[in-house]
């Protein structure tokens, strides 16, 4: 009774805050939790023509779709590609915002700092279609700027967007360029909350600016970096579908076909909704397991983790 009374008192006291949270909670319930009922499709033989009722009234076939999933050669290829691409992004895209935030924090002229921050945010507002258009302007074999320069130097034309060995490099480079400035906002906000007396004490002890970064700034960001790392690891089975879909072509399937594009072809083009749902369930379970494991490891090494 005491716990329920405490909750009711808190709601009465902060009712304005809870009222502001209500639309977000309704949206989460409608678009995140309610659709989870469709997971049942992964265990049935769903037919599109039967309508919504077939989600729950379809023939129950157990783990048939999952066994088919793990025996599918195409899925094995997409799984490997997904993991490799996201590990490359984790290696290059994850530390980029941290490094960028530290460098921006070291800029002493406020005007220059604002210009740098504004310019770095802009790519995150561009759609994948616009970015693809920019890539074509740079890498197109017929009118691209880079190939035009290569031809002017007497070099042969390179089909950057049609050769498998360039695909992952281009994709990871786009990710770094597109999201570094945006994700750096979190780290810049955390840096501004660091007690300035720590920097003053380090200066008195004779520490240089570089030493202050390594012994004051980065240690202060430790828990935030670990938190962001855990969240990033949890998305290792997901991909930037829109960007990959724009770049992907049959010659690039061996290195660029990921789980999301595989689900698109199986679920929407071939209309195998139950099988594509099974793929989604598998991806979600792996993501959940990765979050739980990395969170446990983070707490084992002294961090607060997510919870």
pLDDT tier at 87 (50, 70, 90 boundaries)?
very high
pLDDT in the model for residue 2: 60
Q: Is residue 67 part of a domain?
A: no
Q: Is residue 171 part of a domain?
A: yes
Q: Is residue 149 part of a domain?
A: yes
- Quick one: which of 290, 239, 243, 104 has its CA closest to 185? 104
CATH number for 217: 1.10.3720.10
Pairing, β 44-45 against β 59-60: antiparallel
Q: Is residue 53 part of a domain?
A: no
Q: Using one digit for the tens of pLDDT, what is the confidence trace for 49-83?
A: 666 666 677 778 888 989 988 888 899 999 999 99
- Quick one: which of 284, 291, 286, 270 has its CA closest to 74? 270
Output DSSP code: residue 249: -
Answer for the pair 265, 29: CB distance below 8 angstroms, yes or no.
Answer: no
Q: Is residue 36 part of a domain?
A: no
Q: Is residue 184 part of a domain?
A: yes
Judged on CB neighbours under 10 Å (0-12, 13-18, 19+), 40 is middle
Q: Using one digit for the tens of pLDDT, what is the confidence trace for 127-155?
A: 999 999 999 999 988 888 999 999 998 88
> How many domains are there within the chain?
1
Write out the residue range of the structural domain in which residue 235 sits. Answer: 72-300
Judged on CB neighbours under 10 Å (0-12, 13-18, 19+), 236 is buried
Least confident of 43-47, 102-106, 152-156, 198-202: 43-47
- Quick one: which of 261, 232, 231, 228 has its CA closest to 246? 261
pLDDT tier at 227 (50, 70, 90 boundaries)?
very high
Predicted structure pTM score: 0.87
Q: Is residue 130 part of a domain?
A: yes
Q: Is residue 59 part of a domain?
A: no
pLDDT higher at 84 or 70: 84
Question: What are the residues facing 59 on neighbouring strands?
Answer: 45
The yes-or-no verdict on residue 85 having pLDDT over 70 is yes
Determine the Cα–Cα distance for residues 104 and 187; give it in Å rounded to an integer.
10
């Amino acid at each position: 009774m005491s716990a329920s009374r405490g909750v009711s008192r808190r709601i009465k006291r902060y009712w304005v805050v809870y009222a502001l949270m209500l639309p977000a909670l309704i949206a989460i319930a409608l678009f995140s939790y309610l659709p989870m009922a469709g997971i049942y499709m992964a265990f049935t033989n769903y037919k599109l023509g039967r309508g919504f009722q077939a989600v729950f009234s379809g023939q129950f076939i157990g783990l048939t779709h999952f066994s088919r999933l793990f025996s599918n050669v195409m899925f094995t290829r997409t799984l490997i590609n997904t993991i490799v691409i996201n590990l490359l992004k984790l290696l290059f895209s994850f530390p980029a915002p941290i490094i960028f935030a530290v460098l921006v924090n070291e800029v002493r002229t406020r005007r220059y700092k604002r210009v740098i921050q504004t310019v770095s945010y802009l790519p995150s507002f561009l759609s994948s279609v616009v970015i693809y258009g920019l890539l074509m302007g740079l890498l197109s074999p017929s009118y691209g700027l880079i190939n035009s320069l290569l031809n002017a130097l007497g070099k042969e034309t390179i089909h950057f967007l049609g050769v498998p060995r360039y695909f992952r490099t281009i994709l990871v480079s786009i990710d770094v360029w597109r999201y570094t400035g945006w994700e750096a906002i979190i780290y810049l906000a955390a840096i501004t909350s660091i007690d300035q007396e720590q920097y003053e004490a380090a200066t008195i002890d004779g520490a240089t600016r570089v030493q202050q970064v390594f012994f004051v700034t980065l240690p202060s960001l430790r828990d935030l970096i670990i938190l962001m790392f855990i969240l990033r690891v949890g998305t290792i089975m997901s991909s930037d579908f829109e960007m990959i879909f724009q770049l992907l072509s049959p010659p690039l399937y061996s290195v660029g076909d990921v789980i999301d594009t595989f689900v698109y072809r199986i679920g929407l083009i071939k209309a195998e909704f139950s099988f594509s749902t099974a793929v989604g369930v598998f991806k979600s379970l792996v993501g959940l397991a990765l979050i739980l494991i990395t969170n446990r490891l983070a707490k084992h090494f002294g961090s607060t983790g997510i919870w």
